[in-house]
A and B are shown apart, each in its own frame.
Chain A
Amino acid sequence: MDIFSNGDWLPLSFAALMGLSMLIYAVLDGYDLGVGILMKRATNDEKDRMIGSIGPFWDANETWLVLGAGLLLVAFPKAHSIILSNLYLPVAIMLIGLMLRGVAFDFRAKAKTGHKNAWNNTFFAGSLITAVAQGYMLGAYILGFDKSIAAIAFSLMVGGCVAAGYCLIGACWLIMKTEGALQHKAIGWARVSLWGTMLAIALISISTPLVSERIFDKWFSFPNIVLLAPIPLVTATLVIALEVLLRQLPKPDDRWCWVPFVSTIGIFVLCFHGLAYSFYPYIVPDQLKITEAASAPESLMIILMGALVVLPVLISYTFLAYKIFHGKAKDLSYD
C-alpha cells in the first residue's frame, strides 16, 4: 500500500488515534455531562443517586479529552495552534465549565450542608456550559472558523444540539444504572432528548455539504454516495428502534435496560464516522492536511511505541473499573 511506502502512515495513525480518543471522550464524558444537565430536573435524593452513578468514572472520562487534545498538540502542533487560537474564547469558557462541575462534584458533598443547593446548581451550570461550548466548537470547526453572525448562530445551535445528544446518552446511562421512579424519569428524559439529537444530526448533515463544496462533491459523487448511504440509513434505523424501545421500557426484570445506552453509542459512532469521513484528509477544514501538520517522524514513533504498550493496559484497567462498579448505582460512600 502506498501510504506505508511514503511514510504518511504515521501521521494518519495519529489522526486515527486522536479521533478515537475524541469519540471515546464524547461517549464517556458525554454521559456524565448529560447526567449533570439532567440533574436540574431531579429531586434531592435522585440527585445523590445520579451523582453516585457517575462518581467513580467522571475523572477518568475527562482524561480522554486531555488525551485527544494532547495528541492534537503533540502530533499536529500547527493544527493545534490554528484550531485553538481560532476557538480561544469557547475553549476558555469550556474550561471554566469543566472546572466548575469538577469541583462542584466534590464540594456538593463536602461543603456546608446549607451550600449544597448552590453547588448542585454549579454542577448543572458547569455541565451545560461545557456541553454547549463543545458543540459551539464543533460548529465553528465545520464552518472552517468563519466569524460571521450567521456562523456564530449556527455554532450556537450546534452547541444546543450537542447538549441534547449528551442528555440522551446521560438519560440512557441512568436507565441502565438506576431503578424505580428515577428510571421512569430517565426514560422520559431520553425520549425528549432523542428528538433533540435527531434534529442535531439532521441539521449538521444538511448544513455540512452546503457550506463546503469539497464535502458536497465528496458525498454526492458516484460511487461514494452508494458507499456512504448505509451511515444515514443505519443511524435512522437505530433512532427509530430506540424510540420504539423507550416506549416499552422498563421491561419486567429490567431486561434490556442496557440496550438504549448501547444504541446511543452506536448513533454517536456513526455520526463521528460521518464527520471524520467528510473532513479527511484535512485536519483544519480546507486549510491544512493531516500529513502537512505532523511533528517529526522520530518523535511520533516514540509516542506510538509508548501508546501501543500502554493503551491495552489502560483499556483493561478501565474495564476493571466498570466491572467493579457494574450494576445499579448506590449512593457514594468512602467506606
Chain B
Amino acid sequence: MMELDPALLARIQFATNITFHILFPSITIALGWVLLFFKMRFNATKNEKWMEAYFFWTKIFALCFAMGVVSGITMSFQFGTNWPGFMETVGNIAGPLLAYEILTAFFLEATFLGIMLFGFSRVPAWMHNAATFLVAFGTTVSAFWILALNSWMQTPAGFEMRDGVAHATDWFQIVFNPSFPYRLTHMLLASGVTASFLVAGLSAYRWLRHDRTPAVMAALKTGVLTAAILIPLQIFTGDLHGLNTLQHQPQKVAAMEGLWETKNGAPLVLFALPNKETRQNDLAIEIPKLASLILTHEWDGELKGINAFENNHPPVAQVFWAFRVMVGTGLLMLAVSWSAVFFLWKRKDLVKPLAYAMVPMAFSGWVATVSGWYVTEIGRQPWLVTGVLKTADAISDTPAPIIGISLSMYLTVYAVLMTAFITTLFYMARKAGQVKKDPLTPASGQAVVEALD
C-alpha cells in the first residue's frame, strides 16, 4: 500500500474545508449590504420592485449563510484536531482574536438573521431595517477579526517569544499588523465583486428566461454597476497589496512572478511552466522589464529571485499559476461588467451573448477569490506563521488513515452540498419567475414548476 503522509493529508483537509467555507462568506459579507441597499431604496422610493428583489435575494442570502455557518463550525474544530502546534505556539495571540470574532460577530449575525428573515411582519419597520443592518455589519466584523488573524500569521507584529511560545506585547500592533489594512480591503472588495457577479449572473439567467420584471432588472443593474465600479478599485488595491507583500514577504512575490534569479529589470511573465528541477521557466512568454516597473516603479529596479531565499520559499508553480488565474478572472470580470453597463445604460437592454456569458460567470468571483487565497496562503509556506512556526511543526500525531477517513467524508458531503446549492439557486430563480406570472394560485404555480423539471 502506498505510504500516505499525514502532514500532507492534514493540509489537503484544511485546504478543502477552508476553500469550501470561504465560498459562502465571500458572498454573504457583501450580499448583506446589497440587501440593505434594496431595503433603503424601497424606503426612499416606495417602489415595490426593490422589496421584491429584497425578498428573492434574502432567500439566497439565508441559504448561503447556512452553508457558511455549518462549514465554519468545522473550521473552529480543525485547529485542535489537526494543528495542535498552532494554538500551543501562538494561541496567546490567535485565541483572543478568534474569541472576539465569536463574541462580537457570530452571535450578532446569527441572532439578528432570525429577526431579519422571519420577523418582517412581527417587528416595526425600523427594527427590521436595524436587523438587516446588524446582519451585514456582523458579517463584516467577522471578516475584520479573521483577516486580522490571517494577516498576523503573514506579517506577525506586536509580540515576543518566551520559551518557544508567543506572548502579546502590543494588541494594536497585532491587529493592525503591516499587511492587515491591505488584506482586509482586498478581501472586502473581493466579496463585493463576488456578490455583485452572483446577483448579476442569476438575474441574467432570469432575463434569458424572459423573466424581465422591474425587480429582476433592478437587481441586474445593481449587480452589474457595483461590479463595474468595484473591479477597478480592486485592481488598484491589489497592486498596493502586492507592493506591501514585496516589502514583507519578497519570496512570495518572487514565486508569483516566476522569478528564479535576482534581476535588475525583471520581465513580466505572461505564461510559463515553472520547472523546479531546472529552476527556470519552460515555454515562457515575457514582457521585458515590466515586472520591475510595476513593483519598483523603475525600469531597472532590482527584484529578488527565488535564489535569494534558499529553503525558505514557497512552491513556485502553484503560486505562479494561482496568481495568473486570479488576475485573468479579474480582467474577464472587468470586461464583462463594463460591457453590461454599456448595454444596459446606452442600449437600455442586455444582449443575449453577454447574458449567456454572465450566467456561468455568476461564480467567477469564487474562482478569483479562491485563487487569490491560494496565492497568499501557499505563498506563506513553508511557514504557518512567518518566521515563527513552520507548518510541518504544527501537525497532530493523528495517523494518516484516520485523516483519510475524515477527508473522504468531507469531500463526499461537500460534493453533494455544492451540487445541491448550485441547482437550488437556479431552481429558485426559475420558481421566482413562475410564481409571479400566476400570483393568485401559488399551488398551480408549483404544479407548473414540477411539470417543467
Set of chain A residues within 8 Å of B66, measured between Cβ atoms: 59, 102-103, 105-106
Identity of the chain A residue whose Cβ is nearest the Cβ of B447 in the assembled complex: A113
Set of chain A residues within 8 Å of B181, measured between Cβ atoms: none
Report yes or no: B81 in contact with A112, Cβ–Cβ below 8 A. no
In this complex, which of B114, B120, B168 has the most chain A Cβ atoms within 10 angstroms of its Cβ? B114
Contact partner of B167 (CB less than 8 A), chosen from A62, A75, A298, is A298
CA distance A11 to B396 in the complex (A): 25
Set of chain A residues within 8 Å of B115, measured between Cβ atoms: 56, 320-321, 324
Set of chain B residues within 8 Å of A270, measured between Cβ atoms: none
CA distance A88 to B446 in the complex (A): 44
CA distance A84 to B396 in the complex (A): 10
Report yes or no: B87 in contact with A99, Cβ–Cβ below 8 A. no
CA distance A262 to B449 in the complex (A): 44
Set of chain B residues within 8 Å of A169, measured between Cβ atoms: none
Report yes or no: A78 in contact with B88, Cβ–Cβ below 8 A. yes
* Contact pattern, B 391-424, Cβ under 8 Å of A = 1, otherwise 0: 0000011100010011001100100010011011
Q: For window 47-105 of chain B, which residues contact chain A by CB distance below 8 Å?
A: 55, 58-59, 62-63, 65-67, 69-74, 76-77, 79-81, 84, 87-88, 91-96, 98-100, 102-104
Report yes or no: A70 in contact with B76, Cβ–Cβ below 8 A. yes
Set of chain B residues within 8 Å of A259, measured between Cβ atoms: none
CA distance A81 to B405 in the complex (A): 19
B133 at the interface (CB under 8 A from A): no
Set of chain B residues within 8 Å of A333, measured between Cβ atoms: 118, 121
Set of chain B residues within 8 Å of A69, measured between Cβ atoms: 76-77, 80
Report yes or no: A59 in contact with B114, Cβ–Cβ below 8 A. yes
Report yes or no: B102 in contact with A63, Cβ–Cβ below 8 A. yes
Set of chain A residues within 8 Å of B118, measured between Cβ atoms: 55-56, 325, 332-334
Identity of the chain A residue whose Cβ is nearest the Cβ of B120 in the assembled complex: A335
Report yes or no: B168 in contact with A306, Cβ–Cβ below 8 A. no
A77 at the interface (CB under 8 A from B): yes
CA distance A334 to B131 in the complex (A): 14
Set of chain B residues within 8 Å of A318, measured between Cβ atoms: 107, 111
Report yes or no: A113 in contact with B449, Cβ–Cβ below 8 A. yes
Give A81 Cβ to nearest chain B Cβ, in Å: 3
| Chain B facing A: main interface SS | helix
CA distance A318 to B113 in the complex (A): 12
Report yes or no: A56 in contact with B88, Cβ–Cβ below 8 A. no
Contact partner of B103 (CB less than 8 A), chosen from A55, A314, A335, is A314
Give A172 Cβ to nearest chain B Cβ, in Å: 21
Report yes or no: A299 in contact with B62, Cβ–Cβ below 8 A. no
Interface size on B, residues (CB 8 A): 74
Report yes or no: B168 in contact with A298, Cβ–Cβ below 8 A. yes
Report yes or no: A334 in contact with B58, Cβ–Cβ below 8 A. yes
Report yes or no: B122 in contact with A81, Cβ–Cβ below 8 A. no
Report yes or no: B74 in contact with A314, Cβ–Cβ below 8 A. no
A317-B81 CB under 8 A given contacts A63-B106, A110-B59, A113-B450: no
CA distance A272 to B108 in the complex (A): 27
Give B387 Cβ to nearest chain A Cβ, in Å: 20
Give B156 Cβ to nearest chain A Cβ, in Å: 15
Identity of the chain B residue whose Cβ is nearest the Cβ of A80 in the assembled complex: B80
Q: For window 3-55 of chain A, which residues contact chain B by CB distance below 8 Å?
A: 55
Set of chain A residues within 8 Å of B417, measured between Cβ atoms: 99, 103
CA distance A282 to B233 in the complex (A): 53
B110 at the interface (CB under 8 A from A): yes
CA distance A314 to B450 in the complex (A): 43
Report yes or no: A66 in contact with B63, Cβ–Cβ below 8 A. no
B171 at the interface (CB under 8 A from A): yes
Set of chain B residues within 8 Å of A96, measured between Cβ atoms: 409-410, 413
Give A9 Cβ to nearest chain B Cβ, in Å: 18
A111 at the interface (CB under 8 A from B): yes
Contact partner of A73 (CB less than 8 A), chosen from B79, B92, B402, B405, is B79
B208 at the interface (CB under 8 A from A): no
B308 at the interface (CB under 8 A from A): no
Report yes or no: A114 in contact with B450, Cβ–Cβ below 8 A. yes
> Residues of B with Cβ closer than 8 Å to A?
55, 58-59, 62-63, 65-67, 69-74, 76-77, 79-81, 84, 87-88, 91-96, 98-100, 102-104, 106-108, 110-115, 117-123, 165, 167-168, 171, 396-398, 402, 405-406, 409-410, 413, 417, 420-421, 423-424, 427-428, 446, 449-450, 453
Given contacts A59-B69, A80-B84, 18 further A-B contacts (CB under 8 A): A55-B118, A67-B106, A73-B87, A80-B79, A84-B81, A89-B402, A91-B77, A92-B81, A95-B74, A99-B71, A99-B74, A103-B70, A112-B449, A299-B168, A303-B99, A310-B104, A314-B107, A334-B117
